[in-house]
Structure 1
Amino acid sequence: MSASSEQTSYESPAGTATSMSRVLPTDMTERPAGCPFAPAPGLERRRGDGAVQPLTLANGAHAFMVTGFDEARAVMGDQRFSSDRVRYPDASQLQPHEVAALAERGETPARAAVEERTDGMFVFMDPPEHTRLRRLLTGQFTVRRMKALESRVREIAVEHIEAMQAAGTEADLVPSYALPIPSLMICELLGVDYADREEFQHNTHISLALTTTDEERAKARAALYGFIQHLVNHKRQNPADDLLSGLVHDAEPPLTNAQLVDVALVLLGAGHETTANMLGLGTLALLDNPDQLAALRADPSLIDNTVEELLRYLSIIQLGVTRIATEDVTVGGVDIPAGTTVVIATPEANRDQRHFPEPDQLDVHRPRSPHLAFGHGIHQCLGQQLARIEMRIGFAELFNRLPNLRLAVPVEEIPLRNDMQIFGVHALPVTWA
C-alpha cells in the first residue's frame, strides 16, 4: 500500500468518494512511450514555476498544485486542509457545466451541511471520524505483525518464480509475479478467498481506468460493493482469524455494514493495486539501469535503500492526493483561498532538488531520506510496512533466483499505464535464458 490508497477510491452508494485523476490535463499524467521514468511533459514544463502554482483542471475548475517537498508536507500535515470530500467538495468532482455555472455566479462549491459521516471511507475523512476508524485499523498493521508475515511473503515469491521457471524461459512478470504477491497477502490478511481475486481485480481495474465510461464505472463499483457485502455477511456468520472478522466482531461500538464494506474496499484495493505496480515498474527501472542493479547484486545489504529510492523515484501516484482549504491559508508564500482544491504533485515533490541532489537519477546508494510515496500526516499509509516487506523480498528473490533476468522486448514496447490512476506497466515481458 502507498499514498495512492487515497486514489484507489470507490464511490459508495452515498456518493462518498470519486477519483479526480480523469479531470487532470492529460499532459500531467501521460508519459511518452519508452520514457516510463521521465516526468509527464506537463509537469516537466512547469518546473521552475514555483512550489505552489495555479492549476486549471480539465473541467475548467481552478485549483492549486503543490510541487515542492516542504510545501507538500505542510499541506498534508495541516488540518486546515481537509480530506473530507463530503463536507468540502473537491472541485475535480464537478462536471464542466457545474464549473461554468459556479464561475458565472462568482461562487465556489458550497460546504455540505453533514451532521455525521455514516460511511467508512476513512481516507476521505477528518478527525474525529477519521480518528476512530484509523485507530481500529492501526493495531492490525503493527511492525511486529508485518514482520511475522515475512516468511509467507518469501514463500509466495519463491513459489511464483519456480512456477515461471517450470513454464519455460519467458514470462509476463505482471500477472506471473508482481500482482500475485500483494494480492495473496492482502487476501490472506483480510480473509478473502484468493479464488475470488479475478472478479475483484477486474472490477477494480475498470474503476481505476481513466478511459472508463461513467456507466461502466458505476456497474463495476456496484459489483465491488456486492462482492464485499457478501464477504462481510459471510464473516458475521463464519468469523475467522483475519482482519475483516476482527472488524466485524470486535469493533466498539460496532461498525455498520456500510462502514465495513467501505473500509474493506479501501484496504483490499490499495493492498494489491499499488504494490503490484511498484514491483512491476521497479523491476523495469532496475533492468533499465544495469549499473544500479549491478550495485545491488554486489551488495545485497542495499535492498532497503533500493526500495526507498524506487518509492521516491517512481512515485506511481498520478497526482491524485487532494486537499481542500477550509479557510484562507498561505503556503510557500502563495495565498490559497478557503474552499480551494489543492493537488499534491507527489512525483514532483519527490524530485524536489532542494531535498534530493540529481533527483531524476535512480541511485541505490542515495542516503535514505524522507519521501512522500506513503503520504504524510494523519493519512500516512497504514500498510507501508507490509508494502516495504513485499518489495524488499520480491525484488531480492527475483534477482537472486533469476540472475540472467532481462527484458524480452525493447523498453519502447512496454505498455505503460497512462490510462490508469496508478502508474505502472500493463505488461512486462522478461526472459532469463
Structure 2
Amino acid sequence: MSESVHTVAAMPTERRPGCPFDPPEALMEARERGPISRITHLGGSAGWLVTGYDMVRSVLADPRFSNRKELMNFGDFEIPPAAPGEFLLMDDPQHSRYRKPLVGRFTVRRMRLLTERVEQVTAECLDAMEKAGPGVDLVAAFARPIPAIIICELLGVPYEDRGSFQENVDMFMNGEAGDEELIAAYAAVQDYLAGLVAAKRANPTDDVLSELTDSDLTDEELRGVSLILLAAGLDTTTNMLALGAFALLRHPEQLAALRAEPALVDKAVEELLRYLSVAKTFWRTALEDVELGGVTIKAGTTVTLSINTANRDPERYADPDVLDVRRQESGHLAFSHGVHQCLGQQLARVEMRVAFSALLGRFPTLRLAVPAEEVDLRPETADIYGVKRLPVAWG
C-alpha cells in the first residue's frame, strides 16, 4: 500500500478566495486521496501528514508518538527542549507532574462557577460597544477583552498591569511581529510572569497562580506553567469568538436559528469549534517504528496532524463542510485528544456560550460593516487561525 500513498510537497496553507472558514483546498484534496500522505517539512526532512479523523485521533492517543519539543524533526531546524513548566511540549512523567496540580482548578464545576463573572465581563464589553457604536471592531471590543480579562484574573495579574501585559502578549501571539519585536515582547512577558510568581509567593491572593505556589513547583516552573495557561486561555478563545461571530454573520440562516432558539447555544459552540478548528495543526514524533494506515512511520519521524481536515472528514460527519448549529454529532478534535487534551476547554466553552448568547441578544441587527472579502484575517501560517479585525455595525 505504501507505494500508492499520496505525496504532498509541503504543508498547504492557501485557503480558497471567499472561503475563509474552510481548510486549504490542497489539504482537503490530500484527505480525499487517503488519511495519510507523505510530506516534506519546511526544514527539508521527510515526514507524514495525517488528515483523516480516525487516524488523527489514534495518533493523539498513542503513547508511541511523542509531543516532546526537542524531538520534532523538521530537518534544518534544531529545536531546544521545552522550558521548565511548559508541559504541553512534554511527555509523561514530566507532563503529568505539571498538569496534575492544575486539573482540580479547571474542572467543569469550577468553570461553571465562573459563569457569573464571565457574564459581568461580557455585559461590560457590550455596554462599551453600545456606547461607542454603531460601528466597532468586534475583535478589539468583544473577542479579545473577554478572555483576556478572565485569564488575567485567573492568574492574578493586577488591573493596572493588564494593558501593557496584554499588549506584549498580543505581540508575540499574533503571528505578525518581526523577529526583533517578537523576541522583545516574549522576553517582556517572561520577565513579567517571573515577577508575578515572586509576588504571589510573598503575598498570595485569590487566584490560580497563588494556589499553585503551595505545590512543589519552582518559580521557574510556575512561570512556564503560567505562560502555557496564558497561551491556551487567551489566543485560542479570542480567535474562536471573532471567527465564530464572522462565520455566523456569513451564515444568516444559522444565525437566525440561534436567535430563534437560544437553547441551541451549546450545540452551536461545539459546531463552531468543529467547523473552524482554529488550532489547526499538531505534531507528534514516532518514538519507535509504528505501522499506521498501511505504512511504517520510522522512529524519529515527525507526523503533522491536520485537525481542521479531521474535523471535516465525511467518514465521521455528515455534510462536514456545512455549518449546522443543530448538529447532533460531537467528538470533534478542536481541543485535541488523549493526555494532551486542552485543560482549559471547559473555560473556553463557558466564555463562548455566554459571549455569543449575550452578543446576539444585545444586538439583534448585528451585521458586517465591510464586505466579507475585506475582513482582515490572520495569515494561515499563524499557529492559531482567526480574524485580526472584524468591523461590525447594527441598527
Name the TM-score class by shorter chain. over 0.9
Q: CA deviation at 1:349?
A: 0.5
Q: CA deviation at 1:243?
A: 0.4
The partner residue of 1:406 within 356, 364, 367 is 367
Q: CA deviation at 1:25?
A: 8.3
1:76 is the counterpart of 2:60? yes
Superposed CA deviations along residues 169-207 of structure 1, whole A, max 9, x for unmatched, are 111100101111111111111111244333333333333
2:307 is matched with 346
After superposition, residues 113-128 of structure 1 pair within 5 angstroms as 119-128=84-93
Aligned length: 387
Contact 1:63 1:342 in 2 (8 A): yes
The partner residue of 1:65 within 21, 25, 49 is 49
Distance 1:204 1:32 in 2: 30
1:373 is matched with 334
Change (3 A) 1:307 1:118: closer
1:382 is matched with 343
1:303 is the counterpart of 2:285? no
1:429 is the counterpart of 2:394? no
Q: 1:222 is matched by which residue type in structure 2?
A: A
Contact 1:35 1:412 in 2 (8 A): no
1:15 is matched with none
Structure 1 stretches lacking a partner, 5+ long: 1-23, 99-108
Q: CA deviation at 1:330?
A: 1.2
Change (3 A) 1:25 1:237: farther
Q: 1:29 is matched by which residue type in structure 2?
A: T
Superposed CA deviations along residues 117-136 of structure 1, whole A, max 9, x for unmatched, are 87111111111111111111
Q: CA deviation at 1:55?
A: 1.3
Distance 2:322 2:18 in 1: 16
Superposed CA deviations along residues 92-140 of structure 1, whole A, max 9, x for unmatched, are 3743xx7xxxxxxxxxx9xx9x9xx871111111111111111110011
Distance 2:120 2:276 in 1: 26
Q: 2:298 is matched by which residue type in structure 1?
A: P
1:363 is the counterpart of 2:324? yes
2:157 is matched with 192
After superposition, residues 20-169 of structure 1 pair within 5 angstroms as 28-86=12-70, 89-92=71-74, 94-95=76-77, 119-169=84-134
Superposed CA deviations along residues 233-285 of structure 1, whole A, max 9, x for unmatched, are 1111111111001111x10xx21121111000010122111101000000010
SS at match of 2:321: coil
Q: 2:224 is matched by which residue type in structure 1?
A: D
2:4 is matched with none
Over aligned residues, Cα RMSD in angstroms? 2.1
1:262 is the counterpart of 2:244? no
Larger RCO (CA within 8 A; separation ≥ 6): 1
2:5 is matched with none
Distance 1:430 1:378 in 2: 39
Q: CA deviation at 1:32?
A: 4.4
TM-score, normalised to structure 2, is 0.93
After superposition, residues 207-286 of structure 1 pair within 5 angstroms as 207-248=172-213, 250-251=214-215, 254-286=216-248
1:314 is the counterpart of 2:296? no
Contact 1:68 1:348 in 2 (8 A): yes
TM-score, normalised to structure 1, is 0.85
Distance 2:220 2:83 in 1: 8
Percent identity, please.
49
Q: Which moved more, 1:335-344 or 1:219-228?
A: 219-228
The partner residue of 2:353 within 392, 401, 413 is 392
Q: Which moved more, 1:54-63 or 1:384-393?
A: 54-63
Q: 2:73 is matched by which residue type in structure 1?
A: A
